[in-house]
Structure 1
């Protein structure tokens, strides 16, 4: 009688064949690829990719321009120029996450800058306080945003048409107010405040940092931010959950209008002028930064950190172009290519997410 007690368990198991090993290795590789794609779909993975892109652009600037690019003064110049469009981009992030779009941001910036630098406004500021110019710019931006929101929510006008109409009207009214002239700022206290450096950091950059921080808190730590994500992701489900979609949409466009008012103050202080030509193509720059930052154009997903990184990438890219004497037309072409590439990547990841179990 055969004694089976001393037989080890491994002896009874067949050795794995070469085919089974190859299948297991292929499954392991597929799992690693799925894990990498899953990481890229997360906000942390997307932000990491943006950081790498920013580093690559900086390396390109250093290689092509050397010390002329890699110095503190140039870095502060990049931040100072990027801060204005950066503030607009923060507001645009909320609107796009909420499922909307705004083509009038540049025109609103122009109108607010002209309004706060009219002779009547500056005379009132000299008689009372320079903050009168601040209040007038913020009021104009907020008012334009409210008009956009009301037309879209309660007027039933699609965002593209409503904001396109605001673009034409605001730019035209700015030309009428300024009489197609550049208005100089004569209130020295206004300029002195926005020219302050805090620990070597320009005030314009600090304003961008503060607005970005507030935007991050509002989007990630408040009910307003959660409702914005819900409205953009699934409006019907948000309505059934008790969210007033129309009122929330008005608030989103009002928030963007307020950001445009802040940006108008910043560009007015930087250029010491108010002009109807301010803010040209800001809508393109803001949408580009938001899309590059990972915000879906269809709404429902986006991050403030991604938008800030997108603003910095375009700011550095513009500086590299200027350092190498490339035309603004080449910059526009590059922005268009980057936007298309970002949207295609978003669509690819979205399809992979929907097909994965």
Structure 2
């Protein structure tokens, strides 16, 4: 980070870290540097360190400084998507013959990357229940280089103990990567719990308005940061300056939005628990959730994602998804508007037939910031 912002509170950092007024014009908002190249004062004479926007761009730099500050890390890199960030992270930390431990309830895109892309490159993987630290420890092999953890998981909201997994990784000589997309840096700080790398799909809560696609890697390890940066520049998986601007704008209100997302999710969970057509509710804020105690220890609140199982199986679940009016049927999550989806047919279709296959009676909600009474009413009418 360019400045020491650690003394500031989260909301202050979200608005000011990396976002100083423009020295030439006084603009309080970081300008969109819509340029591909920068004038040089002689061969090798760079002005302020910029030469070509694939390598670095001032708008993107501001976003990266803000993300590093919000996650409590020393370094951050922004990417064109969350999957681009995941690809660079795994390629930087593994070689053919290396082994990755992946959570048994991981995002379908991450599973696809390992199973359909990196496996052909010679990277091995094992899926395990990372909520069980002993199981994770037993899965370690001599060639294990990465433990890849989501907490909460997508879509069944499983919880893993980040500090405990960090110890497993340290003993194994491996790196712990935490996908913090669901929790966001407002609700959870993996680096402070011992993780080596934090990944975000900034498309989701950090952007927050369903109008930009992006990703990020944050670390305090300078060697890892250098490797990530080299690969990103080599393959060109960078966000444009307008994408960086939109993500930076969204991050300014992250704290406010996460409080409202969490408030609304709690109201919806309460309504679903008592409904005769709902057989199970997945939410780490519930006292009987198997990961509740760990979540309460490492999270500020429990977030805006809720999943539930519908009596009657897949057909009934699809019918509920088709009947909502405020909850928009769509993939992605983390925007101000509420979304509903069927993971088995949509976001997690790539896991069909694998150990990560999602039960076909499950629906996933991304609870927005609308009026909670309206959202509850919409779900109740859809359930019938």
TM-score by length of 1: 0.24
Greater relative contact order (Cα < 8 A, sep 6+): 1
Whichever of the two has the greater Rg, that structure is 1
Greater percentage in helix: 1
